[in-house]
């Protein structure tokens, strides 16, 4: 059993399974991104592609346009496609830009919402799925207790820690991860570290 402490690292270090990873890696921080819009666009780019492919597209996009709601909306689709976005992702980033412009999304906007309310708000944008919403909860809003079981790296990390689990056992993984509440976002950072390229 994990002993809950006000310090996530103390709490997770006491866990029989994750503790050795925490000891080896050292303290990791859940720190909100400076720019929520940029971070959400990057998450959309990372959907269903390799990290290397997403990084190349991100670099081209950030060189081609100002990555703000207005900058995306003022760019023509051909410019976005030339940066490496598929037709579908071009539509998705435009949807995200319109939502930010129309709703005025900011850290303050989401501050009073619980995690499920944030997920519902974000996934109402066509092109933002559950995985992308979870990435925003952790990396844009700095929420401490998110377990993004939709992420393949998380599931691979769970299989490494719990050898009786299969990578498709999402419900069982959620159950196992309860041991790390209220610091499941921190636990997720360590799970990513257990697999190669595990940085979301």
- The C-alpha atoms of residue 14 and residue 10 are separated, in whole angstroms, by 7
- 84/159 same-domain check: no
CATH number at residue 169: 1.10.1670.40
Omega of the bond leading into 61 within 30 degrees of 0 (cis): no
- 97/174 same-domain check: no
In a domain, 200, yes or no: no
User: Are 179 and 186 in contact, with CB atoms under 8 Å apart?
Assistant: no
Domain residues for the domain of 94 are 36-139
Q: In the chain, pLDDT over 70 holds for what percent of residues?
A: 95
CA separation (Å) from 95 to 31, 54, 86, 149? 26, 19, 14, 25
Mean pLDDT of 178-192: 97
- The C-alpha atoms of residue 146 and residue 189 are separated, in whole angstroms, by 11
CATH number at residue 81: 1.10.340.30
- 95/160 same-domain check: no
- 40/126 same-domain check: yes
- The C-alpha atoms of residue 8 and residue 158 are separated, in whole angstroms, by 18
| Residue 118 predicted with pLDDT over 50 | yes
| Residue 198 predicted with pLDDT over 90 | no
Q: Which residues contact residue 149 at a Cβ distance below 8 angstroms, ignoring those fewer than 6 apart?
A: 155, 170, 173, 174, 177
Mean pLDDT of 55-59: 94
In a domain, 199, yes or no: no
- 98/183 same-domain check: no
Mean pLDDT of 155-183: 96
Q: Is 94 left (phi over 0), alpha (psi -120 to 50) or beta?
A: alpha
The number of beta carbons lying within 10 Å of the beta carbon of residue 112 is 7
- 130/67 same-domain check: yes
Half-sphere exposure of 10 (CA within 13 A, CB side): 5
Helix count (H) and strand count (E) of the chain? 13, 0
């Amino acid at each position: 059993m994990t002993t809950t402490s006000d310090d996530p690292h103390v709490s997770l270090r006491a866990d029989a399974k994750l503790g050795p990873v925490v000891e080896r890696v050292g303290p990791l921080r859940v720190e909100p991104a400076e720019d929520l819009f940029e971070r959400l666009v990057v998450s959309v780019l990372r959907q269903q592609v390799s990290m290397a492919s997403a990084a190349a597209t991100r670099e081209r996009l950030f060189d081609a346009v100002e990555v703000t709601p207005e900058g995306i909306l003022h760019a023509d689709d051909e410019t976005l496609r030339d940066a490496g976005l598929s037709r579908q992702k071009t539509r998705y980033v435009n949807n995200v830009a319109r939502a930010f412009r129309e709703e005025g999304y900011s850290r303050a906007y989401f501050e009073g919402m619980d995690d499920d309310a944030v997920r519902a708000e974000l996934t109402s944008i066509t092109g933002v799925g559950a995985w992308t919403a979870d990435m925003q909860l952790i990396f844009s809003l700095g929420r401490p207790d998110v377990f993004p079981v939709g992420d393949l790296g998380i599931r691979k990390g769970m299989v490494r820690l719990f050898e009786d689990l299969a990578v498709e056992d999402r419900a069982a993984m959620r159950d196992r991860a309860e041991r790390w509440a209220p610091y499941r976002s921190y636990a997720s950072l360590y799970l990513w570290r257990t697999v190669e390229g595990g940085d979301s």
